[in-house]
Structure 1
Amino acid sequence: MHDPIPVRYGLIGSGMMGQEHLRNIALLPGVSVSRIFEPDDGMARASLALAPGARRADSLAEVVGADDVDCLLVASPNFRHAEQLREIAALRPLPVLLEKPACTSLDDVRALAALQRGYPAPLWVAMEYRYMPPVARLIEVVHGQQDLGAMVMLAIREHRFPFLVKVGDWNRFNRYTGGTLVEKCCHFFDLMRLLMRCEPVRIYASASVAHNHRDERYPDGVPDILDNAFVTVDFAGGQRAVLDLCMFAEGSRYQEEISAVGPRGKVECFVPGPGRFWPPQLGTAPLPRLVLSPREPKGPHEIVVPVDPVALAAGDHNGSTLDQHQRFVAAVRGQGPVEVSLRDGLAAVVMGLAAQASARTGQAIDLTHGEHALADLLDGPEPASGRT
């Protein structure tokens, strides 16, 4: 057996999520981290402890230009993603794994859509939820159609803990995150498009800031990040999906519950939250599960979906980050496809921004015409010179 082709990462941003990536990269044979650009001294020290062979860089340009870097991971704050990807494209267009969301504004959606069309290397948006083992099994069932028939309805519930503390608390504000329905929920809009295999045409959201961060004060003002929402999405094929989000429900047994229904039956998956948050006095944390419920013969069939304990211990995303890196590295080596394109990531951002607009205005947002029209944003002409 041949040794794997060496792959050396450069990291742009290594806060909480960047460090999860580092723990998972360390598990991959033939893969290492050589450079890290992280402005915060504390996060940089923690990151270098996870990747002792890496060197701290003083700038993004230093990482991109290093001759010991084969690919990049961008895990900086959301509002930096678009400008940094443009800088990478101008300096040296290496393969990039870009943390979600791909960007935070419609103008940046247009600019990055144009950038992707001429980018010569793999661009992959990190959508970890696709690779959670129980979610991956649900996707297989839905796309196989043998159990459900063609899916008609999809319901996604995430009842979880509030946003965690980040450097500078940038995740408390819509202007830096794109809003909760972009920052957090781009994962779910991506899953909706993936499962439906067609495009959304209309989105309606009802949301508020009901509980979290209301007593916090910052130089930027009072946090305005949403902490609960219902979102309904209509799709071009006549299917519909709904998202139920609550970010002050960390007492739940499962963090994510997804249900897909077709004319022959239903499939559900249940995903526990990060094991480190499970109260030890309650014993062993719950296991992920898949439930198949055919209409005939009636009777739910429950399957425990095991997760590699090493992958599970390496992060907060139910073991998915390791699988994602394995697939990205295969794409870097020329041994596999890009499974989550920048276009996919941008489509999820547009849906999130439209949902934010709907929650703000109380109106359903058309995704086929107007400023949130997906096709115009993702496949239209390049933005005017100077537009960002």
Structure 2
Amino acid sequence: MKDLSLATVKYGVIGCGMMGQEHLRNIALLPNARVAAIYEPSEAMAGAARALAPGAVQADSVDALLARPDIDALLVASPNHLHLSQLEHIAEHRPLPILMEKPLYTAPEDAARVARIAASYPAPIWVAMEYRYMPPVATFLQQVEAATGGVKMLTIREHRFPFLPKVGDWNRFNRNTGGTLVEKCCHFFDLMRLVLKSDPVRIMASAGQEVNHLDERYGEEVPDIWDSAYVIVDFASGARAMLELCMYAEGSRYQEELSAVGPTGKIEALVPGPTRFWPGPVSEAPVPQVIVSPRAPKAPRAVEIPVDPALLDAGDHNGATYYQHVRFLEAVRQGASCEVSLQDGAWAVRMGLAAQLAAQRGAATYFDG
């Protein structure tokens, strides 16, 4: 195997749409890393990608990209419903280290295919759960145990903008995305397991399409993606978590709000939405905060967690994409374990699918281990 401990890591990128381009901008900021080749079937997206990575070769297929000997690692940022088949193809033909965008899969029957790959893949596969690496969320994760004395209740609220247009409008339909509680919310189910250090046993949900996309038509089809939800999860540890999602609340001061409470106190993380969506001089984007509130003595402490403006300009995830690549490259260069494993990625999807089912049935979904 090639020694990458000191070398420049050369990425091959599969999928250069909106999220793929965010990755390209962040890879350009990394020392000793560059994009060597891209595969993107949309000429409009490929043109944008070439402008962001002018030294990259444009491959005309996934196979052509995998055949290039100068590729050291892969980034897969294609539409959701292509992730698993592309992962299987890579596993069969050239199993390089992979940063695989979420969600890992989109349908319940896909879980066994993921398990087969996990059992035999010889290189790191890191599932891209960017929210872990937002600076205020990372601070929250570092301090959550000390601040709470052990989390008993975890609440995650995301009040944000609607789904953005994508190539071919693929993200308007559950068959492509896995559903809103998979596509959008797998991040939050991942955070729940990470914070609570436990797996779920029961999940309840109420969700639907209330405001967004109701007047959109794509051929004969009407979008079926949801725009709002409440989800409650019971964990094996006895802890509880709740998710509140609203995708017609882009006027909110903070986009994500995390709150964890335990016997000794409470900690919160407040994360603003993408800087590019703030109305400039009319309203300055807020600075992320982490607030620790002990039960005794009652003295809440708020600390601002500013993010490098260059990282804010490079993407919509509060600097997280850059920090995720830094950690992924450590795994590639040093053989370190992946912080977000295939198992983590699979659990996040499993919870999202279970929440979708619970909302559809109007009854709790139970996990069988």
The two structures have a TM-score, normalised by structure 1, of 0.93
2:136 counterpart residue number: 134
* Equivalent-residue separation in structure 2 for 1:241 and 1:296 (angstroms): 24
Q: Deviations over 1:287-326 (max 9, x none)?
A: 0000000000002110001212221211000000000001
Q: Deviations over 1:263-294 (max 9, x none)?
A: 00000010000000011133321000000000
1:286 counterpart residue number: 286
* Equivalent-residue separation in structure 2 for 1:303 and 1:232 (angstroms): 29
1:184 aligns to 2:170 (yes or no) = no
1:263 counterpart residue number: 263
1:282-321 matched pairs, under 5 angstroms: 282-321=282-321
Q: Is the 8 A contact 2:174 2:225 kept in 1?
A: yes
Q: Is the 8 A contact 1:104 1:177 kept in 2?
A: yes
Amino acid at match of 1:72: L
Amino acid at match of 1:68: D
1:64 aligns to 2:69 (yes or no) = no
Amino acid at match of 1:260: A
Q: Secondary structure at the match of 1:36?
A: strand
Once the 2 structures are TM-superposed, how far is the Cα of residue 161 of structure 1 from its aligned partner? 0.1
- Alpha-carbon RMSD across the aligned residues, in angstroms, is 1.2
1:112 counterpart residue number: 114
* Equivalent-residue separation in structure 1 for 2:220 and 2:72 (angstroms): 38
Check 1:220–1:91 CA distance in 2 against 1; reply closer, same or farther (3 A cut): farther
Deviates more, 1:280-289 or 1:206-215: 280-289
* Equivalent-residue separation in structure 1 for 2:94 and 2:24 (angstroms): 23
* Equivalent-residue separation in structure 1 for 2:128 and 2:107 (angstroms): 18
1:381 counterpart residue number: none
1:102 aligns to 2:104 (yes or no) = yes
1:35 aligns to 2:63 (yes or no) = no
1:100-249 matched pairs, under 5 angstroms: 100-142=102-144, 145-219=145-219, 221-249=221-249
The two structures have a TM-score, normalised by structure 2, of 0.97
Q: Deviations over 1:31-66 (max 9, x none)?
A: 111111100000000001100110111111111121
Amino acid at match of 2:31: P
Q: State, as a whole percentage, how many aligned pairs show the same letter.
A: 60
Deviates more, 1:277-286 or 1:72-81: 277-286
1:251 counterpart residue number: 251
Check 1:220–1:80 CA distance in 2 against 1; reply closer, same or farther (3 A cut): farther
* Equivalent-residue separation in structure 2 for 1:305 and 1:109 (angstroms): 37
Gaps of 5+ in 1: 369-374, 376-388
Gaps of 5+ in 2: none
1:360 counterpart residue number: 360
Q: Is the 8 A contact 1:134 1:269 kept in 2?
A: yes
* Equivalent-residue separation in structure 2 for 1:153 and 1:29 (angstroms): 40
Q: Is the 8 A contact 1:327 1:336 kept in 2?
A: no
* Equivalent-residue separation in structure 1 for 2:106 and 2:50 (angstroms): 29
Deviates more, 1:111-120 or 1:172-181: 111-120
1:272 counterpart residue number: 272
Once the 2 structures are TM-superposed, how far is the Cα of residue 335 of structure 1 from its aligned partner? 5.2
* Equivalent-residue separation in structure 2 for 1:52 and 1:302 (angstroms): 43
Once the 2 structures are TM-superposed, how far is the Cα of residue 110 of structure 1 from its aligned partner? 1.4
* Equivalent-residue separation in structure 2 for 1:65 and 1:291 (angstroms): 50
Amino acid at match of 2:193: R
Amino acid at match of 1:312: L
Once the 2 structures are TM-superposed, how far is the Cα of residue 30 of structure 1 from its aligned partner? 1.1
Q: Alignment length, in residue pairs?
A: 366
Q: Deviations over 1:195-234 (max 9, x none)?
A: 0011000001100100100000113610000000000000
Moved over 3 A (4+): none
Amino acid at match of 1:92: R
1:62-101 matched pairs, under 5 angstroms: 62-101=64-103
* Equivalent-residue separation in structure 2 for 1:141 and 1:220 (angstroms): 50
1:39-54 matched pairs, under 5 angstroms: 39-54=41-56
2:340 counterpart residue number: 340
Q: Secondary structure at the match of 1:268?
A: strand
